[in-house]
């Protein structure tokens, strides 16, 4: 029984309305969120430790590569990404990707405990909204598209609509990297995260294609003989390396509780858009299900906004006037003075004012 049938009948518990593949994808996605949420904090601690004895990642340094704690965080993230990779092979992106909100909750809670980054009471409300929104999406997710060969995925990727989307993404990323990163990377959180999110939407489509190829191969239909499988693999590798580089810069330059929700919001929005264009997820749903999913997604966005907007309210009323503009130098100095004992991490550190090398 698929989701639409369960919705129409109104009978049975929620999981009877999900396909077996969707349930597998759900479990894998939840596991992925746990590992990835923890990896943000472990990597952040590794970056801080590496910065004390080398050049910070935010200004082009790579000393974190010699820090064992950063590698622990990286391994944790890899485990989470493997689970996420497997989830995309079983369930549609519109189900798997929004569940990344749970990693934000884990990240925010661990940042409060381990990094002493204060979490306001409304941040807790944001966590609750993320859970409610995720649950809504899970209950109304579309069934996975039936695909018999990786060549079918390649044909979907070659359709004019998705080719136009990919071309726009590549053009915007090139402009951000060569024009905006040197000028605004250290002062505007949206620059680094914009690169990660745009590249990420393409990588998810390739990850899903590669996951489907491996799933079919393990089922007895070898997909490794097709050149399309190799092409998708190369896209995945190049995209992940790009994401890792710019995400490290964002984490090293800005507050974890700011990076995580903004990255999630942009990445998820673009991934859902890419999936709708390429895999036509909404073709298999009725208008009521689509609207409900969008309501769930907006609820998650509201939760991430609260997590972001109220992050520093407990630090003595620091400026929260803009989600995209960072505090002035005087507010940063004030933050450093008042948070010395608690190791508070301001949204922008004094090193951020240095010109890029």
3-state secondary structure 277-300: HHHCHHHHCCHHHHHHHHHHHHHH
Lowest-pLDDT range, 123-132, 196-205, 347-356?
A: 347-356
Please tell me the predicted confidence (pLDDT) of residue 111: 82
The yes-or-no verdict on residue 46 having pLDDT over 90 is no
DSSP per position, 169-180: HHHHHHHIIIII
Tell me: do 160 and 246 sit in the same domain: yes
Q: What is the CA radius of gyration of the chain?
A: 21
Question: How deeply is 340 buried, as exposed, middle or buried, from its count of CB atoms within 10 A (0-12, 13-18, 19+)?
Answer: exposed
CB 205 within 8 A of CB 80: no
* CA distances to 70, 288, 343 from 8, in Å: 49, 11, 53
Beta-strand runs (E) in the chain: none
Residue reference for tokens 């999900």 = 18
Tell me: do 37 and 94 sit in the same domain: yes
State the number of CA atoms in the 13 A half-sphere of 10 facing the CB: 0
Please identify, among 269, 284, 299, the residue that sits at the C-terminal boundary of a domain. Answer: 284
Please identify, among 242, 258, 284, the residue that sits at the C-terminal boundary of a domain. Answer: 284
Percent over 70 (pLDDT), the chain: 78
CB 204 within 8 A of CB 93: yes
What confidence tens digit (pLDDT) does each residue in 128-145 have? 888 898 888 888 888 777
Tell me: do 56 and 181 sit in the same domain: no
Say whether pTM exceeds 0.75: no
What is the rounded distance in angstroms from the CA atom of residue 198 to the CA atom of residue 313? 30
Please tell me the predicted confidence (pLDDT) of residue 310: 66
Question: How many domains are contained in the chain?
Answer: 2
What confidence tens digit (pLDDT) does each residue in 332-349 have? 332 333 333 333 333 343
What is the rounded distance in angstroms from the CA atom of residue 60 to the CA atom of residue 245? 10
C-alpha closest to that of 40 among 236, 277, 254, 283: 254
Please identify, among 250, 284, 318, the residue that sits at the C-terminal boundary of a domain. Answer: 284
Tell me: do 51 and 158 sit in the same domain: no
CB 261 within 8 A of CB 307: yes
What confidence tens digit (pLDDT) does each residue in 244-302 have? 899 889 988 887 667 877 787 788 889 989 998 998 888 777 889 889 989 998 998 88
CB 64 within 8 A of CB 113: no
CB 198 within 8 A of CB 192: no
Tell me: do 102 and 159 sit in the same domain: no
Q: Which domain holds residue 59?
A: 21-117
């Amino acid at each position: 029984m698929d989701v639409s049938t369960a919705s129409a009948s109104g009978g049975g518990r929620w999981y009877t309305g999900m396909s077996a593949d969707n349930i597998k994808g759900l479990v894998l996605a939840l596991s992925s969120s746990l590992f990835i949420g923890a990896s943000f904090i472990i990597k952040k601690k590794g970056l801080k430790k590496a910065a004390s004895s080398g050049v910070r990642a935010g200004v082009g340094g790579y000393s974190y590569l010699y820090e064992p704690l950063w590698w622990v965080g990286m391994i944790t993230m890899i485990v989470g990404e493997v689970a996420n990779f497997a989830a995309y092979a079983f369930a549609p992106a519109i189900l798997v990707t929004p569940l990344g909100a749970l990693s934000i909750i884990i990240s925010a809670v661990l940042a409060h405990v381990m990094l002493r980054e204060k979490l306001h009471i409304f941040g807790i409300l944001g966590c609750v909204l993320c859970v409610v929104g995720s649950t809504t999406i899970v209950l109304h997710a579309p069934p996975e598209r039936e695909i018999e060969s990786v060549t079918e995925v390649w044909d979907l990727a070659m359709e004019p609509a998705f080719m136009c989307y990919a071309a726009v993404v590549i053009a915007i990323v090139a402009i951000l990297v060569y024009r905006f990163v040197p000028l605004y990377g250290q002062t505007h959180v949206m620059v680094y995260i914009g690169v990660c999110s745009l590249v990420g939407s393409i990588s998810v489509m390739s990850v899903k294609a590669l996951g489907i190829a491996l799933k079919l191969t393990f089922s007895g239909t070898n997909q490794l003989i097709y050149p399309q499988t190799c092409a998708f693999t190369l896209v995945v590798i190049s995209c992940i390396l790009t994401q890792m580089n710019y995400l490290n810069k964002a984490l090293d330059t800005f507050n974890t509780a700011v990076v995580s929700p903004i990255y999630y919001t942009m990445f998820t929005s673009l991934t859902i858009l890419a999936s709708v264009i390429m895999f036509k997820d909404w073709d298999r749903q009725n208008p009521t299900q689509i609207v409900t999913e969008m309501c769930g997604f907006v609820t998650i966005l509201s939760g991430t906004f609260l997590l972001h907007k109220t992050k520093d309210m407990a630090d003595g009323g620091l400026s929260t006037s803009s989600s995209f503009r960072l505090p002035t130098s005087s507010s940063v100095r004030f933050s450093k003075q008042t948070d010395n004992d608690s190791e508070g991490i301001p949204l922008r550190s004094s090193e951020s004012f240095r010109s890029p090398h």
